[in-house]
Amino acid sequence: MMRLKTAVIAAGTLCLLAMHAASPAIAQEGPIGIAFAEAPEQSSGVCTGQSTDKTLACAREKCAEGGAMAEDCLRVKWCYPAGWSADLFVQHKASVHWHEYLCGWDSKEAVMAAVAVACDLKRRDMITDCKAVRFWDDNGQEFTAN
């Protein structure tokens, strides 16, 4: 009887270990989100993933790796699903600049249309420059703007 109990416990433990080992692969299936963090006038960070908290923490870490103090790296945006996304460089007439992030768009054409609206200098008369500097597709692959 004791051997049977030991065998059942061992089999159960192996089953739990196998399920735990398989769970990261299962967790990676499905849509991803995209997180943006920025330290104004200093650095920024971008990460993709499925966990809001983990992905935003990753973006803050990348921002700090870019030279900013960790406490200056603000969590500025999270989109889930990420969709097509863009990073806009925006310059104010007073010479300060910042980045704005567009995300969650269903196609490249849609995010490009959103960039055109966001960077319409007729609508934003205090802005002297606005342009997309980076894009991400719906799989999180980054592209530089041409």
pLDDT of residue 84: 97
DSSP at 1: -
Distances in Å between the Cα of 89 and the Cα atoms of 9, 73, 95, 143 are: 59, 17, 12, 15
Write down the domain spans for the chain.
Answer: 1-30, 33-144
pLDDT surpassing 50 at residue 144 = yes
pLDDT of residue 28: 53
More confident residue, 23 or 60: 60
Query: What is the pTM for the complete model shown?
Result: 0.76
pLDDT of residue 2: 47
Q: Of the ranges 6-10, 31-35, 71-75, which one carries the lowest mean pLDDT score? A: 6-10
pLDDT of residue 26: 40
